[in-house]
Structure 1
Amino acid sequence: MYYDIEKAGRRIHELRTKMGISQERLACEIHIHKKTISKAERGVSSLSIDHLVDIADYFDVTLDYLVLGRKQEIGGEINAIFENLECSGEKRDQILQLIRGMVSLVEGA
């Protein structure tokens, strides 16, 4: 598996359109020029690793997914944990609350 800029560009386009935001808004959010987003989505040019990380963070996906197409979404991992623990209802809500708290701590650090 390797970094295919056309496929990565399509993934960026899909994520952006799924959220209903414009290229201009995405560019503004991650502090790059709109044309840079346009070229990346069309597979005309690649993005720097810094911009790829910013885009992955913005869309809450892994860099592996954005660059290589590997689906490793955190939501799926959390669901797998719940299945292994065989918990639901109140226990599940408590665990989710703990996870959200940990995420807030990490983001605030």
Structure 2
Amino acid sequence: MDTGKRISSLRKKRGLNQEQLATELNVSPSTIAMWETNKRALKDESLTLLADFFNVSTDYLLGRTEDKENGPTLVAAHLDDDVSEEDMEDILKYIEFRKNNPLGKKK
């Protein structure tokens, strides 16, 4: 699903029409229409405004994840060359665990 469709879907789930959402976000109704049809790209400030309003991640709005609450989780920025095979196995197990149990995920 593209960004415009996600915005439209989230808006409809809230029971809002484009004019109501525009009022809530202090933008014009035509801006909402252009976002939803992908005729206007989202600026960073608009992206965060929408994410905050709908209580979803910016990664969800951009289609980078299907998880509305959390974007990708950075486990490690780099690994040292001297990591043992046993340590590497533990790291990989932890990564798999985090994938299945994201931080902040409500149960």
| TM-score scaled by length of structure 1 | 0.61
Structure with more contact order per residue of length (Cα contacts < 8 Å, sep ≥ 6): 1
Unaligned runs of 5+ in 1: 1-5, 80-109
SS of equivalent residue, structure 2 residue 106: helix
Between structures 1 and 2, the one with greater helix share: 1
> Percent of pairs identical after alignment?
32
- Say which of 57, 65, 78 aligns to 2:106: 78
Distance 2:45 2:6 in 1: 17
- Say which of 7, 12, 30 aligns to 2:7: 12
- Say which of 15, 20, 25 aligns to 2:20: 25
What is the deviation of 1:74?
3.7
Unaligned runs of 5+ in 2: 71-101
In the TM superposition, structure 1's runs of 4+ consecutive aligned residues that sit over 4 Å from their partners are: none
Larger Rg: 2
Alignment of 1:1-109 (within 5 A): 7-74=2-69, 77-79=105-107
Q: Which amino acid aligns with 1:78?
A: K
| TM-score scaled by length of structure 2 | 0.62
Aligned positions, number: 74
Is the contact between residue 8 and residue 69 of structure 1 (CA under 8 Å) also seen in structure 2? no
What is the deviation of 1:8?
0.3
CA RMSD of aligned residues (A): 2.0
Distance 1:69 1:36 in 2: 23
What is the deviation of 1:69?
4.2
Distance 1:59 1:45 in 2: 19
